[in-house]
Structure 1
């Protein structure tokens, strides 16, 4: 005797439920694999596309490649994105915090949909101009014509204040 119609429908529904739940679990595992590890200044829910945009902006602003901040795992021959081995990575975090604070305090920048400070005033390129280590240069002092404050009559140098020792 063959099982009834209800039996086949029940088996079919159970099979569908198992298939759908298995597919959903696989999709969840794939999403978890894309979660980034060791994020300290970037939002934990940043998407792959957004992460790529941020890293590309920093890459172009500093004129560097990924290995400037990240190390390669020699065993797996893959980049170890989560590693904090290189001090440049922590410096990049500090610089990001600095620009975010400047933008928030002085330019009233809010946060975007994933919690990143929106850049409205200051960014990496403003100082770096495509250089990993921007040149720190002091402004030159203009020559003062004679008779200007700070100079002695007759072109002599000003005297140091009392109490300062001369070399």
Structure 2
């Protein structure tokens, strides 16, 4: 009987965790992923596909151990839980752009990036190498 209760409680907690993950304001919404024209892309190609952008952003989330609201500010229109992906109001977003350019430069100069048919997909040097799941790389070395 105790095992049944334990399994029931564990299952309930798992369901709540999954529901929270899908309702968190930091998740990428379907609305954003269905846009055909991206606004304010300064480093990433304006022709990036929805799937590629979503995959790339989720990779940044994992590499830095953060959610979308780490770089993206809340939507000023007041919609609770919505993010304004085009806004440059957070300094972390501009810093991320510099880091993307840095890793692209390192890869280009050291790993024959120019001769690749898809150079944007080369990631010999990536965010994870230094960040290791933390927003500040120095914290991952402790």
TM-score by length of 2: 0.67
Structure of higher CA gyration radius: 1
CA distance in 2, matches of 1:112, 1:60: 27
* Pairing of 1:84-99 with structure 2 (within 5 A): 84-99=88-103
* 1:121 to 1:72, Cα distance in 2 relative to 1, 3 A: same
Higher relative contact order (CA 8 A, sep 6+): 2
Shift of 1:76: 3.9
CA RMSD of aligned residues (A): 2.3
The corresponding residue for 1:160 is: none
8 Å Cα contact 2:133/2:140 also seen in 1: no
**After TM superposition, which residue ranges in structure 1, 4 or more long, deviate above 6 angstroms?**
none
5+ residue gaps, structure 2, are 1-33
Shift of 1:52: 0.2
* Pairing of 1:1-167 with structure 2 (within 5 A): 33-77=35-79, 78-110=82-114, 117-135=120-138
5+ residue gaps, structure 1, are 1-31, 139-167
How many residue pairs get aligned? The number is 105
Structure with a larger share of its residues in helix: 2
| 1:90-133 deviation per Cα after TM superposition (whole angstroms, max 9, x unaligned) | 010000000000001101124655xx622242000000000001
